Structure 1
Amino acid sequence: MTGKWYTMIYDPRVEQDHCIRTQFKLLDQSPNFASFSTIRHSIRASDGSIRILHGIGRKYGPDPFSMLITMGQANEPCPYFPVKVGQSLSGKNENYKYLVLTQALKQPTIVLARDPEEFNNQYREEVLDYLTRFGYWKNPLTGTELINTDWSKCNKQELFYGQIEEDENEKIEGINRIERGGLLNQLEGKEKRK
């Protein structure tokens, strides 16, 4: 699950941003538990600025799909969980091609893909059929439908997102150095007192 994911289909009632890319980073892992962070980059529809949101995810038990994920939205009523995944042609579990994530009552629903072009060429019809057939596409209470993302209009943002990611990694490395330095200073202080 780790790595970059592109939002291909989403609920416009919950998500007003465009060109949403989410990075999943593993934080901790054991045979029956894993935790990871989510870092979302998107373009605000209101003013075109870049928005960054941080969320978390947790996997419970041996089933790779027993997980709950938050994306960092203030209006998320509860975590997302996977209801469908697209396996790679090689069949390896690590190489999912897309994820259909939803919340309770099938609303809201989002579809993430590893590669937007590959998703559009190979998986879009399969996913649209699934969303329609199982009642995810149209909200029965409000009548609103999910929206498709046209990543051909978003690709110019990839370089900018990449720079943001590099800057965040540098900040994290700096914080880790400071924390290690603080720990070393504490240890050295204890040694001097002895």
Structure 2
Amino acid sequence: MYITLKLITLLALTIELICSKELPFLNAIEVPGAKVPIMRMFDNYAAHCKKEGERTLGMSSLAQIMHSLNAEALVTKMHDSLFSAIGDVEVRRLEGRWFSVVDTREVHAEECSTTEIEIIAQNVFTSTLSLITKVWNPGQTPTTNTGIGLQMGPEPGELLLSTGHSMDKCPYVVVKTFNANPGQPYDFIVLSQPLKYPTIVLARSTDLFQEHKKQVYDFLEKNGYLSPMAALNTRLHFVNVSACDFVE
């Protein structure tokens, strides 16, 4: 279900309020495995965004305005819109090599990208992952970005994946997984951010993606990722995988 432009604006302000550190639950202690309130989940998300530069007067004013609004109801709608199509995310099924087959060119200018995900620490409720991403345009030398993944609980919104790309100021969450064989590594995953922009689709195999491209496309279109309301006049880019010379 698409989020209205008005709601998108309010949600953006909600994230700003969370970043302003004016919410009462900010320093609450989380218990591993316990159900985390949605507001605290998005507070934690905002805390993992890169803080660059000082807050402007306008940003502070917006935060003060948002303090009087029903922020909890807004982030609940955002949470439901993001995670209604996904259950638990099994971190072990994310490991391995991925190819970017759909991307947001307004954020990632490179046509080609591969990502290696590896679990470097894990227990019952938490995990730490390494993300090594190589990005390039056809005919150019790849650039390597080092990112990190943090799982802080069982909810899908508690798994944050930071790519290390200079244009990614905030982490991604997994909003959809596709797999033909239960228990086996995921075939495709959709990564996005709270306002459904930017978005990335990763695939294990570009050939397999071509076979199931319509299924992925339909999900992106139906759920508001293909042309997100948060970034008008933009549309997700389907990568020209043949030009990337991916080695699978």
TM-score normalised by structure 2 residue count: 0.58
Structure 2: how far apart are the matches of 1:81 and 1:2?
Answer: 15
> 1:97 is matched with which residue?
187
Structure 2: how far apart are the matches of 1:50 and 1:95?
Answer: 26
Query: What amino acid maps onto 2:239 in structure 1?
Result: T
CA RMSD of superposed structures (Å): 1.9
Aligned counterpart in structure 2 of residue 135 of structure 1, from 219, 224, 227: 224
Aligned counterpart in structure 2 of residue 58 of structure 1, from 150, 154, 161: 150
Distance 1:102 1:149, change over 3 A: same
Distance 1:145 1:64, change over 3 A: closer
State the percentage of identical aligned residues.
29
Structure 2: how far apart are the matches of 1:84 and 1:29?
Answer: 22
1:18 aligns with 2:125: no
Q: How big is the shift at 1:64?
A: 6.5
> 1:118 is matched with which residue?
208
Q: How big is the shift at 1:149?
A: 1.1
**1:72-130 CA distances to partner (integer Å, 9 max, x unpaired)?**
1122131100110002x2211x4110100001200000000111111111x21111111
Structure 2: how far apart are the matches of 1:105 and 1:62?
Answer: 22
Structure 2: how far apart are the matches of 1:96 and 1:150?
Answer: 22
Note if contact 1:85-1:100 (Cα within 8 Å) is conserved in structure 2: yes
Q: How big is the shift at 1:63?
A: 4.7
Q: How big is the shift at 1:28?
A: 0.4
Note if contact 1:44-1:51 (Cα within 8 Å) is conserved in structure 2: no
SS at match of 2:247: helix
Q: How big is the shift at 1:62?
A: 3.2
Moved over 6 A (4+): none
Bigger RCO (CA 8 Å, 6+ sep): 2
> 1:5 is matched with which residue?
98
Note if contact 2:203-2:209 (Cα within 8 Å) is conserved in structure 1: yes
Query: What amino acid maps onto 1:32 in structure 2?
Result: F
Q: How big is the shift at 1:154?
A: 1.6
Distance 1:20 1:86, change over 3 A: same
Structure 2: how far apart are the matches of 1:105 and 1:63?
Answer: 18
Aligned counterpart in structure 2 of residue 48 of structure 1, from 137, 140, 152: 140
Note if contact 1:35-1:58 (Cα within 8 Å) is conserved in structure 2: yes
> 2:199 is matched with which residue?
109
Which of 20-29 and 65-74 deviates more?
Answer: 65-74
> 2:132 is matched with which residue?
39
Query: What amino acid maps onto 1:78 in structure 2?
Result: C
SS at match of 2:154: coil
**1:18-56 CA distances to partner (integer Å, 9 max, x unpaired)?**
2200000111010111101111112147x8221110100
Give the gaps of 5 or more residues in structure 2: 1-93
Note if contact 1:6-1:113 (Cα within 8 Å) is conserved in structure 2: yes
Structure 2: how far apart are the matches of 1:124 and 1:60?
Answer: 32
